Amino acid sequence: MQKVAELYRGKAKTVYTTEDPDLLVLEFRNDTSALDGERIEQFDRKGMVNNKFNYFIMSKLEEAGIPTQMVRLLSDTEVLVKKLEMVPVECVIRNRAAGSLVRRLGVKEGMELSPPLFDLFLKNDAMHDPMINESYCTTFGWVNESNLARMKELTYKANDVLKKLFDDAGLILVDFKLEFGLFKGEIVLGDEFSPDGSRLWDKTTLNKMDKDRFRQSLGGLIEAYEEVAHRLGINLD
Residues that bind ligand TMP (CB under 6 A): 90, 92, 98-101, 121, 129, 175-177, 197-199
Nearer to ligand TMP, 79 or 97 (CB): 97
Residues with Cβ < 8 Å from 127, sequence gap 6 or more?
Answer: none
Minimum CB distance to ligand TMP smaller for 18 or for 33: 33
* Burial profile 77-90: b = 16 or more Cβ within 10 angstroms, e = fewer: bbbbbbbbeebebb
- Burial (Cβ within 10 Å: 0-12, 13-18, ≥19) of residue 157: middle
Q: Are 84 and 188 within 8 A, CB to CB?
A: yes
Distance CA 161, CA 26 (A): 24
**22 vs 128 by CB, closer to ligand TMP:** 128
Exposure class string for 12-46: b at 16+ Cβ within 10 A, else e: bbbbbbbeeeebbbbbbbbbbbbeeeeeeeeeeeb
In the complex with ligand TMP, which residue's Cβ is closer, 76 or 129?
129
Residue 38 CB, nearest approach to ligand TMP (Å): 13
| Shortest separation between residue 22's beta carbon and ligand TMP, angstroms | 27
Shorter beta-carbon distance to ligand TMP: residue 93 or 169: 93
Length of the chain: 237
Shortest distance (Å) from residue 21 CB to ligand TMP: 28
CB of 193 to ligand TMP, least distance (A): 10
Name the residue whose CB lies closest to ligand TMP.
Answer: 99
- By C-beta, is 55 or 176 nearer to ligand TMP? 176
Question: What is the C-alpha R_g of the chain?
Answer: 17
Give strand pairing partners of 33.
40
Whole-number minimum distance, CB 2 to ligand TMP, in Å?
30
Give 127's DSSP letter: G
Q: Nearest distance from residue 66's CB to ligand TMP, in Å?
A: 18
Tell me the CA distances in angstroms from 160 to 40, 75, 105, 111, 132, one per residue in order. Answer: 32, 30, 25, 19, 24
